[in-house]
Chains A and B, each alone.
Chain A
């Protein structure tokens, strides 16, 4: 559990960070909270010659709550996200989900940007952001561009972000007033990845349904969302079961995961509907 040697960079602004990435190409990786990357380095599954720590870049921090959209800086920690009352009032789903991520120590270090950018199918935020129809701002040598969360994840640890780009902000449209929400997660213990987790928004004739850790990417299902918007809960569950592709691991076999996915989704839908105005 000791990583190979590496150079540590700690730029103070985004331009410097991008320049280091330019210089070292795929030998460099940015690090946010480090909860995915550091274990991989310690296991020597990832050997990174140049580690670029983003924590001194203040532009990447902060939460702005607007009427139409919420903007979250990539280096915002889960703890800061949970502690922001204005955000919780506007987007209660975010706090509900973040409180189910790991434990307080991890949430004090772990960032929203790191969680969404790494492409780890076990992370909670990607599915959540797909449910919310968030977009990610990535900045590279050619400037900034926006990528919808629903188009960001290509496979486990593979995303639409280029190696020379840094994910800087997350922009989330505020759901219509009265939209019901729920994040329901089954896990084995505190700190565990989800066995199955469901993010649901429902109300005002619309709905959005995404699930976590049941495929090599988060799964937002257009069919399931449409079915739920039409009030067809079992149709939504059936569509989601078609969309997921869980693998057997120590959490259990595929049949168990599919069964639990359906149960958790039904519970999330019920909770979201109960909260809808």
Chain B
């Protein structure tokens, strides 16, 4: 069938553009083991780095003796803070405006902290030499509890900040205090609380966990002493920002640094920041003139590179006796570990925690966050979420449940009467955001109907009767969640990281034969950018997605961008892609008009071609137009067909969803079974339904892990208790629930294609949903709040504390 007889629908289908469940082009290499990850990179003469790490959570480093280590065959160098100090590289800036030791400078602040860096001809020699470095420590008192860290006589953790009563985010009131961040109207909120019919109050803890991507963090630094050019391969979620940071802290000119993110085996926030391994590898390569590889192992990943969450959220929620919420108050104590290495936009030291009014029309609200130093690993990254949005969603979705208990109301009904109505968008929240679009009531009713909510409640009530009658030892919990995210950071006017505005970019080159390459400032870590961005372009410029290469991650070739995290790729780089595509289309229109010998305005775009208005038999396909761009001398037009767009989004996007979980809980063993998990997501325009479904499955599985067992735990001495996958819960296919996905479509009004981003929604939404299911099972027995993770012994303890074990 040729171009002339195919219907527009057939031609559109051939493009595999937006809406097509196109198979992921990346999976051909991933499923055949042909991906190329950092540890696959082997360069001539490459050396290997490995760290000596602190066994103590808080100790003075009295001495570091490297002499025996240097005798191990194959060892080239052992770096300590003393070696880095003359270069000014023994400390490095963090993304949060703090600074962090690259190698222990006089003391250590968490177990697993980097003390010395061994460089050797192979990783076995490096590991042997690590054992030979003799470090003398003098133990210091350890603080792992952020509340105890703020007591007057708490040990001073950051001696380098002594006397500095102002930090990057304002005044510090205690030697272990980092910042206080306030949003909303404190006085008005307290007045509402004082006069309210009902106030529910609770401490909601979102425990410390870790993104733990399948591939751990690592890099290969290769300094070419002849050209003066440094090539840095790494597992970077933000390769361009890393290039700028490396330039700023190393003094190397930015044009002499090439950062390459090859295939990345998951990031989830863990690979946003800069780590000691990167700095030490770069220094070692400069010193030795040879490439240096550093790849952390799983224990190092769990112990030292960025953790997530660890928020103690004290909440008060006020309502009328009919259940209309009138005010929300939240004070959060945020445990940041030994250094403040959170990855947030500069002006948001607690990320977007001020989205904590959630999906609800809450007229008055106040939020304060206190950041605190403790003897734990630094981090605080957004683990598959926009900055602190999971914490905010968990907080409000728990507070809604707690309020429902206080009011004696059904939690689905309480949500229904408090949702922001469709006609209120764009909606100004009490904590300062403008929600772009939403239709929460429609999503909620669809979800409740899909699971048969009323019948489920009846079944649950019958089960409760049976339980009380001694006929069963299993309870049913019904977990509800309606979440609203804030993603797509973000507008340059208020979002930057280290002064770099959080725009993103796309550059397109159309080849003479009508295929194309698009390069973006983002970097896929499994999201499927090469698949979905080609689909956006296919619909925008009429070239089949199969004929479009999408390339990311090489700072020498890709346009500058801030990278991939916070569900920002589609909202920001996806918008840049559409806008660059429209520039291509605008020029293509002029070429088509010239070829068809009509005025520019007399042709119009039709799927994959421009046609003369009123004469559809007269047209030029994009393939013909592309060739013309390279072989015709068109008056007034430059040859070629290329475009670049840097997109500064006017607002964030606000995806939302309605999730429902039905869980069976064995009160005697604490063992649970997820019987049903329904996830309705509204991410605006849907680019690839299959990729979306994959994202929901992956994110919900991480959410399941977090809610039901995954944690980074420390004992009182600051010893890490969950540094292997034996104790750090990552579900296998056996534990993973079956998911039932659904959707509504409420496009973003300000995004060029109406898309909102979806990769993180399922983590944000599923954690409170699973947790609420556990709480709901025990609600009839008086449970109001029990902290995650809900692993077997903690569920057992709920039942035991409630006297259910007789």
A residues with a Cβ closer than 8 A to B are 1-2, 4-5, 44, 103, 186, 188-193, 195, 250-253, 255-256, 259-260, 263-264
Contacts and interface: CB of A to CB of B under 8 A. Distances in A.
Given A2-B123, A259-B800, A259-B805, 15 more contacts: A1-B298, A5-B124, A5-B128, A186-B671, A186-B792, A188-B792, A189-B709, A189-B734, A190-B735, A191-B726, A252-B793, A256-B670, A259-B668, A263-B668, A264-B669
Determine chain A's interface SS by DSSP, over half rule. Answer: loop
B405 interface: no
A36 to B, nearest CB: 12
Given A186-B669, A250-B722, A252-B792, A191 B124 contact: no
Interface in B104-137: 123-124, 127-128, 131
B120 to A, nearest CB: 11
Contacts of A252: 791-793, 796
A252 B794 CA distance: 8
5 contacts: A1-B297, A191-B726, A250-B713, A250-B722, A250-B727
A4 B791 CA distance: 36
Interface in B137-189: none
A216 B127 CA distance: 32
Given A2-B124, A2-B127, A4-B128, A189 B670 contact: no
Interface string B389-425: 0000000000000000000000000000000000000
B31 interface: no
B726 A192 contact: yes
Contacts of A189: 709, 729, 731-732, 734-735
Interface in B722-772: 722, 726-727, 729, 731-732, 734-735
Contacts of B727: 250
B625 to A, nearest CB: 54
A188 B668 contact: no
Nearest to B732: A190
A195 B792 contact: yes
B568 interface: no
A268 to B, nearest CB: 13
Contact of B793 (A44, A191, A251): A251
B458 to A, nearest CB: 29
A263 B474 CA distance: 14
B793 A4 contact: no
Given A2-B123, A251-B793, A253-B793, A190 B734 contact: yes
A191 B732 contact: yes
- Judged by DSSP, the binding face of B is loop
Nearest to A43: B299
Given A103-B732, A250-B722, A250-B727, A256 B793 contact: yes
A98 B726 CA distance: 19
A188 to B, nearest CB: 6
B124 A256 contact: no
B797 interface: yes
B796 A1 contact: no
A161 B206 CA distance: 48
A104 to B, nearest CB: 11
A103 B796 CA distance: 26
Interface residues of B, number: 30
Contacts of B791: 188, 252
Nearest to A189: B735
B18 to A, nearest CB: 39
Contacts of A103: 732
Contacts of B670: 256, 260
Nearest to A192: B726
A130 to B, nearest CB: 23
B721 A250 contact: yes
A250 B298 CA distance: 18
Contacts of B298: 1
A263 B668 CA distance: 7
A192 B734 CA distance: 12
Contacts of B669: 186, 260, 263-264
Contacts of B805: 259
Contacts of A188: 709, 729, 791-792
Contacts of B729: 188-189
A253 to B, nearest CB: 6
Contacts of A190: 732, 734-735
Nearest to B796: A256
B473 to A, nearest CB: 9
Interface centre among B792, B793, B797, B805 (most CB of A within 10 A): B793
A191 B726 CA distance: 8
Nearest to A39: B724
A255 B673 CA distance: 23
B790 to A, nearest CB: 12
A261 B26 CA distance: 48
Contacts of A251: 792-793
A189 B709 CA distance: 10
Contacts of A193: 726
Interface in B289-322: 297-299
A256 B671 CA distance: 12
Nearest to A250: B727
A260 B797 CA distance: 12
Nearest to B668: A263
A207 to B, nearest CB: 23
A74 B792 CA distance: 35
Contacts of B800: 255-256, 259
Nearest to A195: B792
B60 to A, nearest CB: 25
A251 B793 CA distance: 7
Nearest to B128: A4
Kindly list the 10 A-B residue pairs having the minimum CB-CB distance in the complex, ordered from nearest.
A252-B793, A2-B127, A250-B727, A256-B793, A1-B297, A190-B734, A190-B732, A263-B668, A256-B796, A189-B735
B129 to A, nearest CB: 11
A5 B722 CA distance: 27
Nearest to B666: A263
Q: Which of A186, A192, A259 has the most CB of B within 10 A?
A: A259
A185 B139 CA distance: 41
Given A1-B298, A103-B732, A260 B709 contact: no
Contacts of B792: 186, 188, 195, 251-252, 256, 260
Contacts of B131: 4, 44
Nearest to B797: A256
A260 B731 CA distance: 22
Contacts of B668: 259-260, 263
A139 B726 CA distance: 34
A173 to B, nearest CB: 32
Of B127, B298, B721, the most chain A CB neighbours within 10 A belong to B127
A184 B123 CA distance: 43
Contacts of A256: 670, 792-793, 796-797, 800
Nearest to B130: A2
A1 B797 CA distance: 35
Interface string B771-795: 0000000000000000000011100
A186 B800 CA distance: 18
A78 to B, nearest CB: 17
Interface in B652-703: 668-671
Contacts of A44: 131
A210 B793 CA distance: 22
Nearest to A263: B668
Nearest to B473: A263
A141 to B, nearest CB: 34
Contacts of B732: 103, 189-191
A228 to B, nearest CB: 20
Nearest to A252: B793
Nearest to B727: A250
A255 B297 CA distance: 35
Nearest to B721: A250
A259 B796 contact: yes
A5 B668 CA distance: 48
A121 B49 CA distance: 36
Contacts of A264: 669
